[in-house]
Structure 1
Amino acid sequence: MATTGPAVGPSTEPPASPGPAARAAKAQLQPGSGPAVYYVAINDGGSRGVRFGCNDSLVAVPGAASPGDALTVALGRLLGAGMPLDNDAALYDSLAASSLRFVSGYVNGSTAVVNLSGSLRPGGVCDIPRIEAQLTHTVVAASGASRAEIYVNGMPLEVALSLR
């Protein structure tokens, strides 16, 4: 099984504790607010979040309080709702052209396992790390796990992205 950790970059080994982005997302959530969902600040150089990929930043956007499991709510927002309504921050959603659906998810020890179905449609080579980062960080932040295993149509996310 392929594993994706909260750190973004070539290594797939997660740090011993949640990375700075996961801690920052949890810190940004106020009592009564919903789980954070991650979007991309293109060519931001890390000034608004964790720097990764094509000199982008990963930015946590806390959600409004909603009933239900935090993982289901967060992935529903990320996969179904598109960009947040108050997106005056010039954030990009690398998943916008994809048609993914959350099938199931659970936490096993320190790992969140998520199953998605549908199709991935990256808009270019830079969207591959963006998709991986948005999904991984959103899952880790919402689940409280320290790492994520994400599957698309039964394939590990890395494999699904390499087929595009």
Structure 2
Amino acid sequence: MYYVALDDGGSSGVRFGCNDSLVAVHTADPSIREPLQAAMSQLLSEGRTPTPVGLYSALDASALQYVSGYFDGATVVVNLTGSVQPGGACDIPRIEAQLTHTAVTAVGAIRAEIYVDGVRLADVLSLR
């Protein structure tokens, strides 16, 4: 899973967005065998998996659930349902980075296509 180190200029991970860092946090849920489902479900679980100290999740205000996903060898496709609620303009790239990097890393993909209720994540976020 990926979380955000706010305004640290890339010192904790990959620099992106509003001078933030994207930070990988390794956790495992032994009850879920499918790695994509496990990673996405943990990232989206409000209140069940606490955000690590010093990091931020731009997904906390959103109500998203993992529906399905598949990996074709290069692209991972993730289908979510629910609502996306960015806390401000800087949360838009944070949400996209957290979801995309978590999905790509879970299966070893090159890129991710993420959909919320059938709409591309980029389109959902552009409406905010």
Tell me the distance in 1 between the aligned counterparts of 2:100 and 2:75: 11
Structure 2 letter corresponding to 1:138: T
Q: 1:102 aligns with which of 60, 66, 87?
A: 66
Shift in Å at residue 153 of structure 1?
Answer: 0.9
Contact 1:46/1:57, CA 8 A, preserved across alignment: yes
What secondary structure sits across from 1:150 in the alignment? strand
1:109 Cα deviation after fit: 2.6
C-alpha distance in structure 2 between counterparts of 1:160 and 1:82, whole Å: 24
Q: Which residue of 2 aligns with 1:73?
A: 38
1:83/1:93 contact within 8 Å kept:
no
Instruction: From the CA coordinates, give the structure whose radius of gyration is larger.
Output: 1
**Structure 1 length normalisation: TM-score?**
0.74
Write the distance in 2 (CA, Å) between the matches of 1:135 and 1:117: 13
> Conserved in 1, the CA contact under 8 Å of 2:28 and 2:38?
no
Report the CA distance shift for 1:124/1:85 in structure 2 as closer, same or farther (over 3 A): closer
How high is the sequence identity, in percent, across the aligned residues? Answer: 61
| Cα root mean square deviation, aligned | 1.5
- 2: CA distance, partners of 1:83 / 1:131: 18
For normalisation by structure 2, the TM-score amounts to 0.93
Q: What is the CA deviation profile of residues 12-70 of structure 1, one whole-angstrom value per residue up to 9, with x for unaligned ones?
A: xxxxxxxxxxxxxxxxxxxxxxxxx0000000100010000000000000003524111
Cα distance in 1, alignment partners of residues 79 and 72 from structure 2: 14
Contact 1:82/1:93, CA 8 A, preserved across alignment: no
Of 68, 87, 93, 1:129 maps to 93
Structure 1 runs of 4+ aligned residues shifted over 3 Å read: 81-86
Aligned position for 2:76: 112
Which amino acid is 2:67 matched to?
A: V
> Any stretches of 5+ residues in structure 1 without a counterpart?
1-36
Are positions 1:141 and 2:105 aligned together?
yes
Q: Which amino acid counterpart does residue 65 of structure 2 have in structure 1?
A: R
Give the CA deviation at 1:108.
Answer: 1.5
State the alpha-carbon separation in 1 of the partners of residues 48 and 55 from structure 2.
Answer: 8
1:151 alignment partner, one of 111, 115, 122: 115
Q: Contact between 2:51 and 2:57, CA under 8 Å: does it hold in 1? A: no
